[in-house]
Amino acid sequence: MTTTEQESLRAKAAAELERARLRSAALTDVLDDDELVRQHSPLMSPLIWDLAHIGNQEELWLVRDVGGLPAVRSDIDELYDAFKHSRASRPALPLLKPGEARQYVDQVRRKTMDVVDRVPLAGRRLVENAFAFGMLVQHEQQHDETMLITHQTRKGPAVLHAPDPPEPDRTVLPHEVLVPGGPFTMGTSTEPWALDNERPAHQVHVDAFFIDTTPVSCGQYQEFMADGGYERPELWTEAGWEHRNKANLRAPLYWRRDGDRWLRDCFGVVGPVRDAEPVVHVSFHEAQAYARWAGKRLPTEAEWEKAARYDPASGRSRRFPWGDENPGSQHANLGQRHLRPAEVGSYPAGASPLGVRQLIGDVWEWVDTDFHGYPGFAAFPYREYSEVFFGPDYKMLRGGCFGTDPAACRGTFRNWDYPIRRQIFSGFRCARTPGGGELG
């Protein structure tokens, strides 16, 4: 790597770290200390835990491991270890107070910037050291999305504000398109910031399938509800029906009935459910029940990725549905520019070669695949990032949402959660096997 290339990598790392920190600050500076230390939902950490955890991971991976510098605060590692304390138990811990947490993350960041300026970016350590910056930027941005989820769980007057997404393109789209059968390249070995679970690139054969051109909308979802979707066990899997009963599911999270219409609480602003918006805050089980009701099914993870990346003209896999360029505001609703998904049919410039819209951004899409490592998977930098979650407990979500930063989103990016979870910004789209319906 030339000196100029090294300098540009350092400059990019510094700029991306700074951009992530501005977002973390914006999510925490709008609330008083009491709201930062309080637990807004047992599913989420106190916001101040996320902030100090961001700083602690940065100190562990960048300052100590990559930089070889002495610890800033080794006494708090245990408090901010996500594996040591469940989210529900975090408010009772002797956490740093908001002022101390802010001072701590600033202190770590000053050391990080020294590491960014000075760490060797040549020879054997180049790939690891360069990747460490990307990993940390994505870690902070992922926790910023987690903090945004916490904001949605919070009660009280709105503190976050953003303009509505742009008006959709009014072209009438086909409901679904046929993705041709055959092999495609899934995963990546070349994306510099790809995490361990996205690697390596490998060939996967996928039979021909139909996929919806847009995510399922609130209007469509209300038809399912009006047709007794939540009352018909035959539409649900056994596990799904059991959960539907236990949790008394009747509508997406944050929906409430008002006379003959539904309202939705969106970050403290309550308004009528917008029929043309993708449905958000549904669990995997609800998504599956809807799909069965519609005579369809959820796509598998390989189908989703083929729909998002495969270019039938060249046979190669793209970085994004629209091509290889990084996401711009014309392509996708990412980066918390808006606080809600854009109406279905938006972002024509972000369509895939086959005309599938909104695969990236708007809502995370549940797919019917358990979390697993690709053939040749190698844990990096440690097993706890991905590998310990492999198995049947977690379902995959793809494509990012309005609250996902572009730095933590690409055609290969993989997210996962329990199939009952719906405080996340989760929606879905349907697929179907030609001629076969959901049984195909």
Which one among 139, 306, 357, 398 touches ligand AVJ, defined by CB under 6 A? 139
51 CB burial (10 A radius; 0-12, 13-18, 19+): buried
Whether residue 434 is preceded by a cis peptide bond, meaning omega within 30 degrees of 0, is no
139 assigned to a ligand binding site: yes
User: Distance between the two ends of the chain, CA-based, in angstroms?
Assistant: 51
302 assigned to a ligand binding site: no
State the nearest-atom distance from the C-beta of 176 to ligand AVJ, in Å. 29
Per-residue contact flags (x/-) with ligand AVJ for residues 30 to 69, judged by CB under 6 A: ----------------------------------------
- The window from 137-145, 202-210, 269-277, 347-355 that contacts ligand AVJ (CB under 6 A) reads 137-145
Select 147 or 179, whichever has its Cβ closest to ligand AVJ: 147
- The CA distance from 201 to 377, in Å, is 10
Select 181 or 418, whichever has its Cβ closest to ligand AVJ: 418
Stretch 398-417 residues interacting with ligand AVJ (CB under 6 A): 415-416
Per-residue contact flags (x/-) with ligand AVJ for residues 142 to 161, judged by CB under 6 A: xx--x---------------
6 Cβ contact list (under 8 Å, min separation 6): 121, 122
Indicate left, alpha or beta for 17 from its phi (over 0: left) and psi (-120 to 50: alpha): alpha
Select 322 or 413, whichever has its Cβ closest to ligand AVJ: 413
Residue 185 has φ and ψ, to the nearest 5°, of -90, 120
State the nearest-atom distance from the C-beta of 405 to ligand AVJ, in Å. 12
DSSP 3-state of 395 = strand
Select 105 or 431, whichever has its Cβ closest to ligand AVJ: 105
Which whole-number Å values give the CA distances from 85 to 76, 82, 94, 103, in the listed order? Answer: 13, 6, 12, 23
State the nearest-atom distance from the C-beta of 414 to ligand AVJ, in Å. 8
256 assigned to a ligand binding site: no
275 assigned to a ligand binding site: no
Determine the residue type at 145. E
CA 41 distance to own-chain centroid: 19
State the nearest-atom distance from the C-beta of 424 to ligand AVJ, in Å. 8
State the nearest-atom distance from the C-beta of 418 to ligand AVJ, in Å. 10
State the nearest-atom distance from the C-beta of 254 to ligand AVJ, in Å. 20
Select 44 or 431, whichever has its Cβ closest to ligand AVJ: 44
- The CA distance from 340 to 345, in Å, is 15
Buried b (16+ CB within 10 A) or exposed e, 300-324: bbbbbbbbbbbeeeeeebbbbbbee
Q: Which residue is nearest to ligand AVJ (CB)?
A: 142
DSSP state for residue 39 in the 8-state scheme: -
List the binding residues for gamma-L-glutamyl-L-cysteine: 87-90, 417, 421
List the binding residues for Fe cation: 53, 139, 143
Positions touching ligand AVJ (CB under 6 A) are: 139, 142-143, 146, 415-416
